[in-house]
Amino acid sequence: MGVKAFIFDLDGVIVDTAKYHYLAWKNLANQLGFEFTLEQNELFKGVSRRRCLEILLDIGNVTASSEQFERWLIEKNEDYLAYIEKMDSSEILPDVPKVLSYLKSKGIPMALGSASKNAKAILEKVSLLPYFDSLVDGNSVSKAKPDPEVFLIGASNLGVSPENCAVFEDALAGIEAANNAEMVSIGIGDKKILSEADYNFNDFTEIDINFLDRLIS
């Protein structure tokens, strides 16, 4: 296939911080007087923090001044960070280190491509930061997936052309972003939802070394 670099999404791919985002959004919703369900939380996958708050306020039929909006954004993030503070390497999803270690041993450059503004802190908490040659997160992009900006910046930082990159993603918007960048897209999760991916796996336990070798050969 000629893949020369790999880009990883963070939430739902390397670690599952989605549960902490959900709890923080749920706490804010409850504070504002309404419920926020796991089903509704599906709308937040791969979406920027600001857009998430807009959706949440729509769900609760709550209007906010710009000052309130900014304050609630900060409150939600502080709540989320309190959960993140307690993270450790036990939160890494199964067999992710196996794949990272193998690619590192082959000298394959790797980047993180995530909407999270807390990506570096999370990777430090779970001791995976040294694997990555570039971090592209919510602090360095202006366009949300399915816009390919986050992955194109990652490829550029690694010095590899987009068509020679492969992306691991768990969200449909992320798969669409990878496809829009003309990269190889690898879906992690429900194949029915991620049907546009070039390859699909339920999780990293299904990814064997032979598959990686075929991509990079």
Tell me the pLDDT tens digit for each residue of 84-107: 999 999 999 999 999 999 999 999
Identify the DSSP state of 115: S
For residues 183 and 121, give the distance between their C-alpha atoms in angstroms, rounded to a whole number: 27
For residue 128, report the phi and psi dihedrals to the nearest 5 degrees: -110, -5
Name, in order, each residue with C-beta under 8 angstroms of 208's C-beta and a sequence gap of 6 or more: none
Find the angle CA(209)-CA(177)-CA(6) to the nearest 5 degrees. 30
Model pLDDT, residue 17: 85
Q: Which residue has the tokens 């089903």?
A: 39
Which residue among 9, 79, 137, 170 is the active-site one?
A: 9
Per the CB < 8 A criterion, the answer to whether 114 and 11 are in contact is yes
Can you point out the beta strands (E) in 11-133? 110-113
pLDDT along the chain (217 residues), means of 10: 94 91 97 96 86 97 97 96 93 97 98 92 96 95 93 98 97 96 97 96 97 96
pTM: 0.85
Model pLDDT, residue 115: 86
Q: Which of 34, 88, 84 is nearest to 57 (CA)?
A: 34
Domains of the chain: 5-15+90-216 (3.40.50.1000), 18-84 (1.10.150.240)
Model pLDDT, residue 198: 98
Cβ–Cβ contacts within 10 Å for residue 206, how many?
12
Note if 9 is an active site residue: yes
Model pLDDT, residue 122: 94
For residues 150 and 97, give the distance between their C-alpha atoms in angstroms, rounded to a whole number: 23
Note if 11 is an active site residue: yes
- Rounded to the nearest angstrom, the gap between the alpha carbon of residue 39 and the centroid of all alpha carbons in its chain is 19
Amino acid at 177: A
